[in-house]
Chain A
Amino acid sequence: MSVLGDFLVRAGLAGLGVAVAAGPLGCFVVWRRMAYFGDATAHAALLGVTLAIALELPVALGVAIAALAMALTVSAATGRTYAMDTMLGVASHGALAVGLVSVSFLTGVRVDLMGYLFGDILAVTRTDLAVIWGGAAAVIALLVWRWGRLILSTLNADLAAAAGVDADRERLILTVALAILVAVALKVVGVLLITAMLIVPAAAARAFARTPEAMALHAVGIGAGAALAGLAGSWRFDTPTGPSMVVAAMLALVAANLGAAAVRRRKPG
């Protein structure tokens, strides 16, 4: 019983760690319309896994490097020859395909592909937990440190410039935070659903928030609730855990919007 409790506790803590970092970062992804960009960055993670195994690096480090390299390449290349969404589509699906192909070149190592694609939260170790919470703390620290400047440059680059804020530097900060989050969330929800954990809680939080800060805090709460509810649901119904968390977040999104619509209707006038 205690062993059972132990791995469930670790899974719960891992899910909470991702939710805490993904809440505020996901708000920026929503505000800046970076969902597709997030996808491209996350999909590079698989290539990072191959890289890490081939070079005998820690997996999280390889993933963060690959995600950052992808994000920087995509930012530098957008708008040159193709439209933004074509470019992101190529990068996103290309990275996934190259990642899947690259994994097959690894010899002598058995790679749990499904685990990387959909997450394997029930297999989270103490070391994984340290990586997840360390990464989440780094993301939160980055965002808190730059918060005012990030909000200003997200609102309007010219307004930021007039206030002495370099919008390009702030975008780089967000890109680094995103790469760290991809490395953190890989074990929990997997490559394919990382973007969902970013944007679904943030989008659900929009329904009730009146300020950017309130939206970020609500997103943390909704993400944390979804992580725990998804874990409980997957235990109860024997469903895959990462996808169950995303389903829980989706239900929160629908409920939040129905609730907000009901509140609006009840208001007089």
Chain B
Amino acid sequence: MSAADAPLIEARGLGFVRGGQPILARVDFRIGAGEIVTVVGPNGSGKSSLLRLLIGAERADAGAVIRRPGLRIGYVPQRLAIDHTMPMTVNRFLALAEADAGARRAALMRVGAQGLGDRQMIDLSGGQFQRALLAQALLRRPDVLVLDEAAQGLDQPGVGRFYRLIEELRSELGCAVLMVSHDLHVVMAASDRVICLNGHVCCEGAPTVVSAAPEYRALFGLGTQGALALYRHEHDHAHGHGDGLDAGFGEVPGAAGRERAPDDAAHRGHGRQRSGA
């Protein structure tokens, strides 16, 4: 990564308010070409809002988002509710990315969804649907692939396969990847940089640095110690042990729930003080 490269997307001092509630405050962000950045944070921490601000789906109440001119974004939303009154074959959906028939077939093949072209989108299974969304994002020849909890609703092996596919695609296309997830042990493995978010940026850096940071521990609890160990383990040996992953991951939500509250309050108070000044 050369520091001289202009960032693909950069944000400074982002603030976002919904229904009188501050969702994000003073968030700085940047992603460079080819970088993999993962945003982690508890539910309601503003992860999806940050992503939507960065792709231009929402306008910030404070600060600014600067996208490199002509930036091509491949976006895979958390879910896409297609109204059943709208007929939409997979092929027609992919054609929204202005791709010809050959490119559409190749993209479906690449994401492992070959032969689905003539099916209706609403008839696809969860996994097939996510693959169709991913194929659509690829057809835009993205500079940055943006994934919002894109593996949600897939089973545990499905999640692993999905993220492995993302890693492969990233090295093939050379695009940057920006993703939001709470599948900590899976996503952190491949990230260049992790941003820990809870209304504001709690901490940021390489996965090992972030997972050792006290702010991160406070948000996700000590359970992540185990998850990180597994992450290292998984990284060393390509064939992860499914049982171990499940057991390690199972601890996280409870621990996070217990330990979040006091820290959360402290941070929020802190944030308000600063934004008032």
Contact = CB atoms under 8 A, between A and B. Distances in A.
Co-complex (A, B): yes
Interface of A: 30-33, 148, 151-152, 154-159, 161-164, 203, 206, 209-215
Nearest to A28: B86
B85 A158 contact: no
Contact of A210 (B75, B80, B82, B87): B87
A159 B89 contact: no
B96 interface: yes
**What does DSSP make chain A's interface, helix, strand, loop or mixed?**
helix
A171 to B, nearest CB: 14
A156 B88 contact: no
Contacts of B80: 155-156, 159
Nearest to A162: B75
A162 B55 CA distance: 5
A213 B85 CA distance: 13
A120 B118 CA distance: 45
Contacts of A213: 92
A214 B52 CA distance: 32
Contacts of A157: 57
A151 B57 CA distance: 16
B88 A158 contact: no
A212 B74 CA distance: 23
Contacts of A32: 83
B140 interface: yes
A33 B83 CA distance: 9
A162 B56 contact: yes
19 contacts: A30-B85, A151-B96, A154-B86, A155-B80, A156-B80, A157-B57, A158-B55, A158-B75, A159-B75, A161-B57, A161-B75, A162-B55, A162-B146, A164-B56, A206-B85, A210-B87, A210-B89, A211-B88, A215-B87
Contact of B55 (A154, A161, A212, A215): A161
Nearest to A33: B83
Given A156-B77, A157-B57, 18 more contacts: A31-B85, A31-B86, A148-B96, A148-B98, A154-B86, A155-B82, A155-B93, A158-B55, A158-B77, A161-B52, A161-B56, A162-B75, A163-B96, A211-B88, A211-B89, A211-B92, A212-B92, A215-B86
A209 B89 CA distance: 10
A212 B88 contact: yes
B120 interface: yes
A158 B97 CA distance: 14
A155 B120 contact: no
A158 B55 CA distance: 8
Contacts of A159: 75, 77, 80
B54 to A, nearest CB: 10
Interface string B63-84: 0000000000111010010110
A269 to B, nearest CB: 14
A101 B90 CA distance: 51
Interface string B11-35: 0000000000000000000000000
A155 B133 CA distance: 12
A212 B140 contact: no
A232 B156 CA distance: 62
A35 to B, nearest CB: 11
Interface string B36-78: 0000000000000000100111000000000000000111010
A37 to B, nearest CB: 15
A152 B73 CA distance: 15
A214 B55 CA distance: 31
A230 B214 CA distance: 74
Contacts of B74: 162
B57 A214 contact: no
Contact of B86 (A148, A158, A162, A212): A212
A154 B57 CA distance: 14
Contacts of B97: 163
A157 B92 CA distance: 18
A211 B120 CA distance: 9
A75 B207 CA distance: 45
A14 B77 CA distance: 44
